[in-house]
Amino acid sequence: MPDLKLSVDPNSSAPVYRQIVDQFRTLLVEGALEPGQQMPSVRQIAIALGVHFNTVAEAYRALAAEGLISVAHGKPARVLDHVPEPAAPAQLDGFRSKLRQLIAEMRAQGVSKARIRRELANAQEGLQG
């Protein structure tokens, strides 16, 4: 099992289960977790993050609803080979808007343009893997 480096921010406005979902989605999309690979147990993640196991179970159910993992009672969760439908133009517009808002937030918080470019390049590299 790779070192997943998951974390939660109790001060975040995002619920803890959503933080877990978002981090796992990133790992899955970037290929850190391969199709067919066994996911860490709910209890392992809960202990590592210091959260209740029901919170992690909720995150796993959300990932399963997105078609990213399979979950079955009594069996380990596994990564699925997920091939999403291409995004519609309206969805792309929404993503573009969110990305621009995030960049604006980063600039407002003092992140330099050069650092933002590096972060975008790093994210792009993760997609090419």
Each residue's pLDDT tens digit, 78-91: 999 977 788 899 99
Torsion of CA 122, 123, 128, 129, to 10 degrees: 80
All CATH 1.10.10.10 domain ranges in the chain, comma separated: 16-79
Assess contact for 39 and 79: CB atoms under 8 A.
yes
Phi/psi region, residue 14 (left: phi>0; alpha: psi -120 to 50; beta: rest), is beta
The encoded tokens of residue 70 equal 């399979």
Q: What is the pTM of this model?
A: 0.74
Assess contact for 51 and 76: CB atoms under 8 A.
no
How far, in Å, CA of 21 to CA of 1, rounded? 18
Of 30-34, 64-68, 89-93, 117-121, the poorest mean pLDDT is in 30-34
Highest CATH level, class, for 16-79: mainly alpha
Provide the angle, in degrees to the nearest 10, between the axes of the packed helices 113-128 and 89-108: 140
27-45 average pLDDT score: 91
pLDDT at residue number 57: 96
Assess contact for 53 and 42: CB atoms under 8 A.
yes
Q: Which residue has the higher pLDDT, 4 or 97?
A: 97
Q: What is the mean pLDDT of the chain?
A: 91
